Amino acid sequence: MVAGLDEKLEPIYRDVLRRNPGETEFHQAVHEVLETLGPVLVKYPEFTEHKIIQRICEPERQIIFRVPWQDDQGHTHINRAFRVEFNSALGPYKGGMRFHPSVYLGIIKFLGFEQIFKNALTGLPIGGGKGGSDFDPKGRSDAEIMRFCQSLMTELYRHIGQYTDVPAGDIGVGQREVGYLFGQYKRITNRYESGVFTGKGLDWGGSRARTEATGYGTVFFLNEMLKVRGESLEGKTCVVSGSGNVAIYAIEKIHALGGKVIACSDSNGVIVDKNGLDLDLVKQIKEIERRRISAYAEERPDATYLPDGVIWTVPCELALPCATQNELNGKDAQTLVEQGCIAVAEGANMPTTPEGIRVFQEAGIAYGPGKAANAGGVATSALEMQQNASRDSWTSEYTEARLQEIMINIHRNCHETAEEFGQPGDYVAGANITGFLKVGRAMVALGLI
């Protein structure tokens, strides 16, 4: 017996394990979706007949290639890069590129699998994919990063396009890297195909509010979860893990809506400021100076720096994991619940372990999974594609209003679907089933392809 799975789904999951050995993050992502789909197969037997689940668990295409490049000293390095084009039933593959030493096929497949459902939830015509490399941009010069990006795109360009596969940024891939990647694509193809890459700079085809979108969207979703419980962000104490793009703009929107963020983190430790974080200082340290978060305590003596600390030990009412996968385990979740946390919204992809999710659900707190709560980033990427296609540029206010509308709709759909399938308040089931139904119906309609 596989814990938590309907008997019809057990053999499917066992087959995923057999066909994808060693890819633990991918196994986790698949199991988390499958354990919510039993009632769907009862209500819609055609998905079983067409083997939609088996097909959705197998990527349409997996591309792996080497990336040779030279550092500033003339030494040669070889990295490995991936692009997993998972599902295009709803539109061109859409998903970010991640540059981090931990990247291997299992992580890219987990991210791509999650992206299928996340993109479906936005209601926009985009399929799911993901890519990346085990290249580490930390400590590398701009010239080294440019050479790496150009080498990677020299292979990747043949597999992407605005109607085929549209990458974007992710961990380790910001506007600088997107610029080098897009520039090489333009050079090789001799086409100014703006819609092939999202997360671009405003001067060359980017969208206003895209930088803020994932963090803002997570807070919009959190706010909707609180509303249905008769609560609000006003006056609430929050902690946000990470201090990258998602975390920074989640903090910004929490402050704008009346909450107070007292802690954030990076891979070295945690900064705690009981008076509320000085966001301008965090931005200066992380976005401009590219220093470690410990520098915050040097500028603010009242703040406390916890080297190798765990942010979830800081008492709070709201928690937003915005760093990386599996950063919040069962013990951490128990600590949060015991200290009075009432809601968790995921700004990162799969940051909570299955044990942690179980703790939150059993405690009855509001828990927003990443595929719903952090869908604002890819939603605004799709809005960037719309602007590129129409040669248009929208205002920040209009784009943010569209983002908020999309996040409200995602919350409503997840909330209503959970109720429809007898699991009220379960946003995990609501998000998985809503996304699966949309993709599954499209796959049935398109035939056996």
CB 422 within 8 A of CB 30: no
Nearest-angstrom CA–CA distance, 120 and 432:
10
Alpha-carbon separation of residue 268 from 67, 148, 241, 315 (angstroms) = 29, 26, 12, 20
Helix locations, 98-169, DSSP H:
105-121, 142-156
Inter-helix orientation angle 245-256/210-227, to 10°: 50
Nearest-angstrom CA–CA distance, 243 and 290:
11
Helix (H, G, I), strand (E, B) or coil at 240: strand
Catalytically annotated residue among 94, 109, 118, 130? 130
HEC string of 173-228 equals ECHHHHHHHHHHHHHHHCCCCHHHCCCCCHHHCCCCCHHHHHHHHHHHHHHHHHHC
What DSSP character marks residue 312?
G
CB 370 within 8 A of CB 118: yes
Based on the number of CB atoms within 10 Å of its own CB, is 206 exposed (0-12), middle (13-18) or buried (19 or more)?
Answer: buried
What DSSP character marks residue 420?
H
Helix (H, G, I), strand (E, B) or coil at 449: coil
Is 130 considered catalytic here? yes
Query: Partners of 318 in the beta sheet?
Result: 238, 343
Most distant CA pair in the chain, distance: 64
Nearest-angstrom CA–CA distance, 158 and 161:
8
Phi and psi torsions of 194, nearest 5°: -55, -35
Alpha-carbon separation of residue 170 from 143, 178, 399 (angstroms) = 20, 10, 20
Catalytic residues: 130
